[in-house]
Structure formats: C-alpha cells, structure tokens
Amino acid sequence: MKWTPGSRDSIEDARGRSPMLRAGLPIGLGGAVILLIGSWLTGTNLFTLLGPSSDVSDSPAGDSRPVATTPEEEKMVDFVGAVADDLQATWGQLLGSRYQRTKVVLFRDAVESACGMAETAVGPFYCPSDNRVYLDLSFYNDLDRRFGAPGDFAQAYVLAHEVGHHIQALLGTEASMRAEQQRAPSQARALSVKLELQADCYAGVWGHVARQPGRFLAGRVELEAGDIEEGLNAAAAIGDDRLQRMQTGRVVPDSFTHGSSAQRSTWFRRGLDVGTIESCNTFGGLQ
Ligand SMILES: [Zn+2]
C-alpha cells in the first residue's frame, strides 16, 4: 500500500489508560486462555463473560498515563490513522449525509467500551452502542504470525471490516438483524454470518475505491500490486473453518459465526470487484 502519515483525527488513543481490576491486576491474565480466540474469530458477545463493568476501576478520561512506545509502533499508529481517515472519507462520499464519523480506539490489554469490558484476546471489534472501532495493535502480530496473514493490506482489511460494521449500524442493518435474531432464534447464527460476510464485502468496496490509480498523488491511500492477494489471504485465514481446524482439528459448520474461508474471501472479492453497497446484499440469499 502507498500512504502518507496524516492526521490522527480518526484515532482515540487509549493505550495509556487500560482499565485495571480493583485487585490491581490487568484484566484477564487467566481469562485470556478461555477467550483466546475472541469475538473477531468466533463470536460476538464475549464481553459479558468478563463481568459487569462496575467491577472495574478505570482511570478517569483524560488522566492517561504516558505511553511507552517505539518508533515502529508509532508508525503503525500513523498507518491506522491514514487508513481510517481514508475509510471515512470514502464512506462519506458513498453515503453522503447518511455518514457519521467513527473513531478507532487504540488500547492495550483491555478496554472499557459501551458494550462492556473487553480484552485484547477478543480481537478487534466494533461496538454499536458507542459507534467505535476497538483495536489493540498487537493483533497485527497475531494476524501475521499466528494466522499467516502478513502485509499492510491484510491489516487494512481488518480495519475496513470493522468500519463495515459501523456502516451496518448507520444504515440500520445491524439493528434489524438483531430484531430478526430475536424473532427467529434458530436463525441467529446464520444471520450473524450474513452480517459478518457483509462487513467483509464492505471492506472490499473500500478496496475497490482505494485501488484506483492516482490516489496516492492526491494524498490518499492507494493499493499496490500484491495488496489484493494479501487481503484475500487474510479473509481466508480467519474463516471459521480454518480457525476451527487450527484449534480442534475438526470443522463444525453449524458453529460458524463469521463464515468459512471461501465465503469470506468470496464476499470480500465481490465488494472489490463491484464496488457498490448494493453488491453486498448477503441477506438476499446469494451465498
Ligand atoms: Zn465482524
């Protein structure tokens, strides 16, 4: 990818204010084992397992500790900022006045969101209650080393998928999906998969725009040769079937929550190729 460090307007830096348990221990030293794979990979509601947020004393907002960081990490923050700015500008153009900005909250170890307490092990997530994307940068190491999905566009795809959930919140798709899950509990898992695949497709829609030549010279993010393959590889790498095989050696399709590797890369590719919101109607029966 070609990009230039710009503003960090899309970032809320919470790396210096990780919430702590009253006992003074970081959340989840043991819990991390149970929640190892997390909502990004296996489900959506792992936050509640960590208990009510009243169990937690948090530094007041604005009272953050200085962040110990490295030049490499700051470069990663700049990258996330540039991609998030580009995602927001792109969706602003696609949705016009329907678009409202989001923030990418960077955290370490654990974070308190309006959806509850979450720790790094749940992976990146979007909270529809506060309309924010949450990301611990250490996930990118996992993506590369643990899931075999290296590359900057693989990292951008993860962010674009979460911003895809923001689009679903803005357009009301997320709310109507939840209502439908209440109405038809037996369909809950299938509906969740459709929502996830649509977020993959929306990530592709952004990629469709970002691959247009000349963007970099105009100060925007621009894809390069090999980026599409990195993104498709990442979408396949975190398909439920491949993850299940990594964890248990077996594939149980009924427990899929995000879609198989083939489904995820198919829908990401569809967004990339067609580039319209309409092309992402995963709820329309096309699988
Ligand atoms: Zn998702």
Structure confidence at residue 18 (pLDDT)? 66
Report the DSSP beta bridge partners of residue 12.
Answer: 105
pLDDT band at 13 (very low <50, low <70, confident <90, very high): very high
- How many whole angstroms from 257 Cα to the centroid of ligand 1? 9
Q: Is 167 helix (H, G, I), strand (E, B) or coil?
A: helix
- How many whole angstroms from 175 Cα to the centroid of ligand 1? 15
Q: Distances in Å between the alpha carbon of 29 and those of 20, 25, 112, 125, 248? A: 11, 8, 16, 20, 23
Structure confidence at residue 267 (pLDDT)? 94
- 231: part of which helix (H) or strand (E)? helix 227-237
Using the predicted structure, report yes or no on whether residue 276 has a pLDDT greater than 80: yes
pLDDT band at 49 (very low <50, low <70, confident <90, very high): very low
Structure confidence at residue 64 (pLDDT)? 57
Which of 259, 33, 13, 271 minimizes the C-alpha distance to 163? 271
- How many whole angstroms from 70 Cα to the centroid of ligand 1? 29
Quote the percentage of the chain above a pLDDT of 90: 57
Q: Distances in Å between the alpha carbon of 56 and those of 26, 125, 183, 193? A: 10, 20, 34, 32
Contact 258, 232 (CB under 8 A): no
Using the predicted structure, report yes or no on whether residue 26 has a pLDDT greater than 80: no
Which of 220, 120, 203, 91 minimizes the C-alpha distance to 156? 203
pLDDT band at 43 (very low <50, low <70, confident <90, very high): very low
- How many whole angstroms from 66 Cα to the centroid of ligand 1? 31
Structure confidence at residue 122 (pLDDT)? 79
Structure confidence at residue 257 (pLDDT)? 80
Taking the CA atoms of the chain, what radius of gyration do you get in angstroms?
A: 18
Selected residue with higher pLDDT from 283 and 28: 283
Report the DSSP beta bridge partners of residue 167.
Answer: none
- How many whole angstroms from 116 Cα to the centroid of ligand 1? 17
- How many whole angstroms from 165 Cα to the centroid of ligand 1? 7
Neighbours of 80 (CB within 10 A): 23
Neighbours of 29 (CB within 10 A): 11
197-245 pLDDT, tens digit per residue, is 999 999 999 999 999 999 999 999 999 999 999 989 888 887 777 777 7
Using the predicted structure, report yes or no on whether residue 174 has a pLDDT greater than 90: yes
Mean pLDDT, residues 263-269: 93
User: What is the rounded average pLDDT for all residues in the chain?
Assistant: 83
- How many whole angstroms from 243 Cα to the centroid of ligand 1? 15
Q: Is 206 helix (H, G, I), strand (E, B) or coil?
A: helix
Which of 10, 154, 138, 160 minimizes the C-alpha distance to 70? 138
- The amino acid sitting at 101 is R
Using the predicted structure, report yes or no on whether residue 2 has a pLDDT greater than 70: yes
- How many whole angstroms from 75 Cα to the centroid of ligand 1? 25
Q: Distances in Å between the alpha carbon of 6 and those of 72, 136, 153? A: 16, 20, 18
Contact 267, 197 (CB under 8 A): yes
Q: Distances in Å between the alpha carbon of 254 and those of 184, 185, 189, 190, 192? A: 16, 14, 8, 9, 12
In whole angstroms, what is the distance from residue 116 CA to residue 84 CA? 23
91-142 pLDDT, tens digit per residue, is 999 999 999 999 999 999 899 999 888 888 778 889 999 999 999 999 898 8
- How many whole angstroms from 286 Cα to the centroid of ligand 1? 19
- How many whole angstroms from 43 Cα to the centroid of ligand 1? 9
- How many whole angstroms from 217 Cα to the centroid of ligand 1? 32
